[in-house]
Amino acid sequence: MAVDFLVYDIVFLVIFVIFLFIFLHSGKKNLKREGLLLLYKTSWGIKLINKIGKKNPGVFKVLSYVSIATGYLLMALMIYMLAKIVHIYISAPEIVRAVKVPPIIPLVPYLPQIFSLDFLPPFYFTYWIVIIAVIAITHEFSHGIFAAYNNLKIKTTGFGFFPWFLPVFLAAFVELDEKKMEKKKNFPQLAILSAGTFANVLTAIFFFVVIWIFFFAAFTPSGVIFNTYPYSVVDISSISSVNGIQVGEPTYEKISELLNVDGLNKVEANGIAYVTTKDISYREGIVVLYYDAPAINANLESVIFGVNGVNVKSVNELSSELSKYSPGEKITLKVLGEDGEGYDIDIVLGKNPINENLAWLGIGFTNQERDSTLGKLFLLLSFKDPNIYYEAKFDGLSVFIYNLLWWVVLISVSVALINMLPVGIFDGGRFFYLTVLGITKSEKIAKLAFSLSTYAILFILFLLLFFWAIAFI
């Protein structure tokens, strides 16, 4: 389905570009270049924005406090996360190499596919357009609504492109009367500036509920996923034989020479049978070896649907079913093949290395928890037990919609956080300036703080790019 949809998606991309070119050419009188931006200015939605902003002033008064508080919270959280990211880039280059993506790069269509980011779902052009419509419009309209509440004129609405000479990135905008806004008191300005990120947070919450409902309606548990085989860290000096050949005084070089390039190699250490590939994991006198178990020897598929005709939908159910058999017994597992179809495979159970009276298949489940904020958010949005295989009730459509909703939530949160960075180009820049101004009552100090924060963040971004580059050297 993914390959087929990619073709449709690229066709849609081409059609959209052609349509956009014709649309902009026919409405070129509304186009205006401002720096690197190309703006298409209209009056779409202004009446609706004013109508909403003028209605229920008591509600918007309360929401103004909530919006400003949300802005401060997001700014603090983003600064904290930026510090954590810098720490990772400096201290853990292996993580940087694994992620691959440069630290400063816009989320464009096909980015996860291009960089082979398997931990992220695919990101299609169709997703990109839908998400821009949802996130950018709600973000900008929220600015407009809070501006209307504070009796600030909305001059135009529309959408823009960056850069102007090659319109690639699309965004919505609401143009306010900046001169009149600067004459407003700090509080209404802070409310208007933070309104966009507040809308992003509300959007994330709304779609989080939607994806939660959709997930349990569109997917059902149908199997167990294992992601490793049981292994042990072994002192290299304890290895006695490799592929039946006695080692004598074992060294890494001697053991490596005895390992076959293809298939599994039999290794004995401390009287225990292990297996390994030619690409053995070695570090400072120790190696990682897998136990010589039925699953790894059979190259067992990672998704198990059933044991001898009995369906298993959780690790506990699989463990309970396997406990009914003894070492040496043959069982038939139904597993998921590479072609997406289930098939049966016969396996003779081995002896558990801890208790030889118990049957052993030899599969493992690594800890999938993440300590980082983004990692926890990633797991939270998945709704999936990492050890359970979920079958889509509506085939590819379920996965397509689920991934779209997942991206909407993730990008909503990301935009809300990034937009509150105390940098001049973001709402967080002036938000920070007004905060310092309100505290110090000095425009000179506020401008200095604003300038310092902007250059500090830019320096940090440069630092991230530097450490990203040297991680691959």
Chain-centroid distance of CA 233 in Å reads 32
Cα distances (angstroms) measured from residue 99 to each of 106, 115, 208, 382, 415: 15, 8, 25, 19, 20
Residue 371 has pLDDT above 60, yes or no: no
- At residue 403, what are phi and psi to the nearest 5 degrees? -65, -40
Question: What is the overall mean pLDDT for the chain?
Answer: 89
pLDDT of residue 325: 95
Average pLDDT over residues 397-417: 93
pLDDT single digits (tens) 189-237: 999 999 999 999 999 999 999 999 999 899 999 999 998 999 999 999 9
pLDDT of residue 48: 94
358: closest CA among 387, 397, 319?
319
pLDDT of residue 313: 94
Q: In angstroms, rounded to a whole number, what is the distance separating the alpha carbons of residues 228 and 302?
A: 8
Contacts of 94 (CB under 8 A, 6+ apart): none
**Domains present along the chain, CATH in parentheses:** 29-220+393-471 (no CATH), 231-292 (no CATH), 301-360 (2.30.42.10)
Q: In angstroms, rounded to a whole number, what is the distance separating the alpha carbons of residues 251 and 440?
A: 68
Average pLDDT over residues 6-32: 89
pLDDT of residue 102: 82
pLDDT of residue 372: 45
Average pLDDT over residues 290-294: 94
Residue 376 has pLDDT above 60, yes or no: no
Contact 38, 161 (CB under 8 A): yes
Residue 257 has pLDDT above 80, yes or no: yes
* Other Cβ atoms within 10 Å of 258 Cβ, number: 17
Identify the helix (H) or strand (E) that includes residue 308: none
pLDDT of residue 374: 47
pLDDT of residue 373: 47
Average pLDDT over residues 16-42: 86
Which band of pLDDT confidence, cut at 50, 70 and 90, is reported for residue 6? confident
Average pLDDT over residues 283-311: 93
Average pLDDT over residues 89-99: 83
pLDDT of residue 167: 64
Residue 169 has pLDDT above 80, yes or no: no
What percentage of the chain reaches a pLDDT higher than 90? 62
pLDDT single digits (tens) 100-109: 888 877 778 8
Average pLDDT over residues 352-359: 88
Q: What is the edge-to-edge ordering of all strands in the sheet holding 31-34? A: 31-34, 37-42, 154-162, 169-176
Residue 99 has pLDDT above 90, yes or no: no
Average pLDDT over residues 302-318: 95
Of residues 240 and 165, the one with the higher pLDDT is 240
Contact 441, 88 (CB under 8 A): no
Of residues 159 and 431, the one with the higher pLDDT is 431
Of residues 343 and 97, the one with the higher pLDDT is 343
Which band of pLDDT confidence, cut at 50, 70 and 90, is reported for residue 377? low
